[in-house]
Chains A and B, each alone.
Chain A
Amino acid sequence: MRVLEGQFRNPSGCAISAVISRNGERMSGEQIIESMKPMHERSNGLGGGFAGYGIYPEYRELFALHLFFSGKEAKKDCEDYLKGALELVKAEVIPTRTIPAITDEPLIWRYFVTPLRSVLASMQVDENEYIARVVMHINTAITGAYVFSSGKNMGVFKAVGFPEDVGEFYRLEDYGAYSWTAHGRYPTNTPGWWGGAHPFALLDWTVVHNGEISSYDANRRCIEMYGYKCTLQTDTEVITYIADYLLRKQGLTLEETASVIAAPFWETIERMPEAEKRELTYLRTVFPSLLVTGPFSIVLGFHGGLMALNDRLKLRSMVTAEKGDRVFIASEEAAIRAMEPAAENFYAPAGGEPVIVRVREGCC
Chain B
Amino acid sequence: MMRTIDATGMEFTELNGLLRRTEGDIELQGCLGQRFIGAGMGNRKIRIHGIPGNALGAYLNGGELEVFGNAQDAVGDTMNAGTILVHGSIGDTAGYAMRGGKIYVRGNAGYRTGIHMKAYKEHLPVIIIGGRAGSFLGEYQAGGILVVLGLHTDGRPIVSNYPCTGMHGGKLFLRSDCRDLRFPKQVTARPASPEDLEEIGDYLEEYCALFGLDRSHILSSPFTVVTPDSANPYRQMYVAN
A residues with a Cβ closer than 8 A to B are: 38-41, 265-268, 271, 313-314, 317, 319, 332-335, 337-338, 346, 348, 350-351
Contacts and interface: CB of A to CB of B under 8 A. Distances in A.
A295 B53 CA distance: 21
Contacts of A346: 70, 89
Contacts of B218: none
Interface in B116-152: 134-136
A338 B72 CA distance: 14
Interface residues of B, number: 27
* Candidate in A319, A332, A333, A346 with the most chain B CB atoms within 10 angstroms: A333
Contacts of A38: 32-34, 53
B241 A333 contact: no
Contact of A332 (B12, B33, B111, B160): B33
Contacts of B110: 314, 317, 348
Contacts of A268: 161
Contacts of B200: none
A265 B35 contact: no
B53 A334 contact: yes
B239 A334 contact: no
A41 B241 contact: no
Contacts of B32: 38, 334, 337-338
A41 B33 CA distance: 10
B64 interface: no
* Candidate in B51, B72, B135 with the most chain A CB atoms within 10 angstroms: B51
Contacts of B89: 346, 348
B72 A317 contact: yes
12 contacts: A38-B33, A41-B35, A265-B241, A266-B239, A314-B134, A314-B135, A317-B110, A333-B72, A334-B72, A338-B33, A348-B89, A348-B92
Nearest to A267: B239
B91 interface: yes
Contact of A267 (B33, B73, B241): B241
B78 interface: no
Interface in B209-235: none
A267 B236 CA distance: 15
* Candidate in B53, B72, B135, B241 with the most chain A CB atoms within 10 angstroms: B241
A310 to B, nearest CB: 9
B80 interface: no
Interface of B: 11-12, 32-35, 50-51, 53-54, 70, 72-73, 89, 91-92, 110-111, 134-136, 160-161, 182, 238-239, 241
Given A41-B35, A332-B33, A351-B135, 7 more contacts: A38-B34, A313-B135, A313-B136, A317-B73, A317-B91, A317-B110, A333-B91
A41 B111 contact: no
Contacts of B134: 314, 348, 350
Contact of A317 (B11, B92, B239): B92
- Interchain residue pairs A-B with the least CB separation, the first 7: A334-B33, A38-B33, A266-B241, A334-B51, A314-B111, A267-B239, A334-B32
A271 B50 CA distance: 41
A265 B239 contact: yes
Contacts of B160: 350
B226 to A, nearest CB: 19
Nearest to B241: A266
Contacts of A266: 239, 241
A323 to B, nearest CB: 15
B70 A333 contact: yes
Contacts of A41: 12, 35
A332 B92 contact: no
A217 B54 CA distance: 32
Nearest to B136: A313
Nearest to A42: B54
Contacts of A337: 32-33, 50-51
A335 B72 CA distance: 11
* Candidate in B33, B136, B161 with the most chain A CB atoms within 10 angstroms: B33
A38 B91 CA distance: 16
B91 A348 contact: yes
Contacts of B92: 314, 317, 348
A41 B91 CA distance: 18
* Candidate in A38, A268, A346 with the most chain B CB atoms within 10 angstroms: A38
B59 to A, nearest CB: 18
Given A39-B33, A317-B91, A332-B53, A350 B70 contact: no
